[in-house]
Amino acid sequence: MSVSRSAPPRRRARLACALGALLLAACGAEPQRTVVRPSIVYVSLDTTRADRLGLYGAERPTSPQLDALAEHALVFDAMRAPSGNTLLSHASLFTGLFPRAHGARPAGKVAALPDAARTLAEDFAEAGYDCAAFTTHAEWLSPAFGMHQGFDHFDASRDAAPQVLQRVRAWLDARESERPFFLFVHLFDVHSDQHGRPYAAPESTAGRFTQPPGEVARDWEVEPVGGSLFLRGVHRGYLELRPGEVDELLAQYDEGLLALDAEIGAFLTEVRNERAPRAWISVSADHGEEFFEHGSPLHYSLYEEILRIPWLLVPPARAAPAWATPRRLAAPVSLLDVRRTLVALAGLPRASADHGRDLLPWLRGERGPPKPTPFPLLTAGLIMENWKLVRPPGGAWELYDLAHDPHELNDLAATERGREPLANLLAELQRLDEEHVVIANALHSQEVRASPELDAEAQQHLEALGYTR
């Protein structure tokens, strides 16, 4: 006695396609060509500054896995975030709009990303993609703040990379559809943590770069204050660091990067080799971190150590020959360019109007580098070509010539050389701010989502991270 079993879903789909082709051929018709669109895996590494990674010149071996991945990638050497805030930067990533234009706000007059703002996930969903997000900032990167728009599956937690990536693997394994997918993964691991030592690394890498406890730094176990609140106290001037402790903080941060790199490397190797060999992989960050280069910790300012972030765009393992050669790309690009570029890379219709640029013609070698455009930093700064205008929290306007002073050490705001550029940048910043407020008002005028309300646990978590008073 034989028992028949139905074919597995994926096999059934392949059989159906083959049968359809045979029927068309029997009728003398040409089978219609099926466009196979690539899947997209986007990994966002919270609080990751480019220059602490080996592929961007770091002295410590913090990123051997990403360094190896870069050997197959397009590596962007001048990638910038529009903000030092997780919500603002990710909302700009998803919409291609500058922060003042998309209107999402994490503090003060709190506002979610409006429903009317078109997102990258909505672009892919409309094209038939399965869309899933796994985020580890359960307060801001959450449905309450509108960050779920376009995603079929949205997982928001405060878990570390190992737990999150296990759930991502489970989602990939459970898929029965042959459709392409857009997978967004956000990892919070190297953010200044909310308990104990700032930037504390897991056991796998703890002690790799730091001195033995007690030799340099104090005992950082300062609960219930927490590492981030301690650093905020340093930022505000009522706590001080001892000699050698800045180096210790950096060493702890680098240890966290090394641990995160191992987790990402293992996962992305699986993606390229087994789980999705036709997927494009994008690895970037939302902002960097300051280690007293300009007198403060954390990411309250808009100096380059906050804005300069990594971006690796890795072709599929089965990519066309045109993408086989890795390249380093020096022209300035930004998180706002990601949406249009990925949409074009997938062969989808052009994304709706935003402030980003489609970089694909440049990446294909069809055109030269994209022309630089004004890059506003909320109302606190503007970058135009080599000039950068910035106002630190509570400070006066500063002006830097990034071509000759990339580390922003020589403020030209009060000099004769800086007088005309300062006036031009201030006028342009005001013009752009007015333009972006009009866009934000139009988006929010169609709003149907209530203003986000954070529960007591979320408020406590944000306070532990140093974001609220």
Give the mean pLDDT of 439-453. 74
What mean pLDDT do residues 11-15 have? 33
Res 54 pLDDT > 50 = yes
What pLDDT does 81 receive?
98
Contact (Cβ atoms closer than 8 angstroms) between residue 397 and residue 391: yes
| Pairing mode of beta strands 74-76, 311-314 | antiparallel
Question: What pLDDT was estimated at residue 455?
Answer: 61
Computed over every residue of the chain, the mean pLDDT equals 85
Q: Which residues of 426-453 are buried (b: 16+ CB within 10 A; e: fewer)?
A: eeebeebbeebeebbeebbeebebeebe
Q: What is the mean pLDDT of residues 303-319?
A: 94
For the chain, which domains are there?
A: 40-371+456-464 (3.40.720.10)
Least confident of 154-163, 180-189, 271-280, 459-468: 459-468
- Report the first-to-last Cα separation within the chain, whole angstroms: 74
Contacts of 274 (CB under 8 A, 6+ apart): none
Q: Is the dihedral of CA 201, 202, 203, 204 positive or negative?
A: negative
Please report the pLDDT score of residue 23 as a whole number: 28
* Per-residue pLDDT at 438: 95
Return the minimum-mean-pLDDT range out of 112-121, 253-262, 452-461.
452-461
Q: Which range, 106-120, 286-300, 302-316, 453-467, is most confident? A: 302-316
Which range among 111-125, 180-194, 204-218, 258-272 shows the weakest confidence by mean pLDDT? 204-218
* 11/168: higher pLDDT: 168
Residue 188 has pLDDT above 80, yes or no: yes
Indicate the pLDDT class of residue 248, thresholds 50, 70 and 90.
confident
pLDDT at 353: 84
For residue 314, give the 3-state DSSP assignment. Answer: strand
**Largest separation between any pair of C-alpha atoms in the chain:** 95
* Count of CB atoms situated within 10 Å of the CB of 374: 15
Q: Specify whether the CB–CB gap between 128 and 121 falls below 8 A.
A: no
Burial 294-320 (b: 16+ CB within 10 A, else e): bebbbbbbbbbbbbbbbbbbbbbeeee
pLDDT of residue 316: 92
113 has pLDDT over 50: yes
CA dihedral (441, 86, 45, 249) positive or negative: positive
Q: What's residue 275's pLDDT?
A: 92
Nearest to 258 by CA among 298, 216, 312, 207: 207
Buried b (16+ CB within 10 A) or exposed e, 327-352: eebeebbbbbbbbbbbbbbbebeebe
Q: Where are the alpha helices (DSSP H) in 294-337?
A: 304-307
Find the mean pLDDT for residues 325-329: 89
Per-residue pLDDT, 37: 92
Q: Which amino acid is at 329?
A: L
Question: Can you give the pLDDT at residue 456?
Answer: 59
To the nearest whole percent, how much of the chain has pLDDT over 70? Answer: 83
pLDDT at residue 2 tops 80:
no
What value does the mean pLDDT take over residues 15-21? 35
Say what the pTM is. Answer: 0.87
The region of weakest confidence among 68-82, 233-247, 283-297, 390-404 is: 233-247
pLDDT range class, residue 213, cuts 50, 70, 90: low
Residue 223 pLDDT grade (very low, low, confident, very high; cuts 50, 70, 90)? very low
Q: 338-345 and 86-95 helices cross at what angle (nearest 10)?
A: 40
pLDDT the model gives residue 461 = 56
pLDDT of residue 243: 76
